Amino acid sequence: MIDETDPAIRAVRAPFQAISAGLGDRFEATAAAYREKIAEHERYVAERTAREARLRAEPVPERPKRPTRPRREPDDPSETGFYTVTWMTKR
């Protein structure tokens, strides 16, 4: 077994214990920052949800319709709007 009271064992373990303590501190700081970001995101989502609900509750104003001009009647009632190119060909 390892003698924990041996100064050489303590000297070898000291750097590892310092690293472990530093990692633990950094882990706690990182976890706290993560929790803060999650809380900030939840506040943002709640605010956005409330804003969207408020906007949905408001009546949507109707857009004014542009007046449309009536189509004019064709001069020739037999006019269909389709043309052929037979008049352009020589026979």
Residue 4 has pLDDT above 70, yes or no: yes
What's the pLDDT score for residue 28? 84
Residue whose entry in the numeric block shows the structure tokens 């989502």: 45
Q: Is 36 helix (H, G, I), strand (E, B) or coil?
A: helix
Question: Which residue blocks in the chain are alpha helix, DSSP H?
Answer: 7-57
pTM over 0.85: no
* Per-residue model confidence as pLDDT tens digits over 24-66: 778 888 889 999 999 999 999 999 999 999 988 888 888 888 8
What's the pLDDT score for residue 85? 66
Residue whose entry in the numeric block shows the structure tokens 């214990």: 17
* Per-residue model confidence as pLDDT tens digits over 42-52: 999 999 999 99
Write the CA distances from 8 to 3, 40, 41, 64, 74, integer angstroms: 10, 49, 50, 88, 109
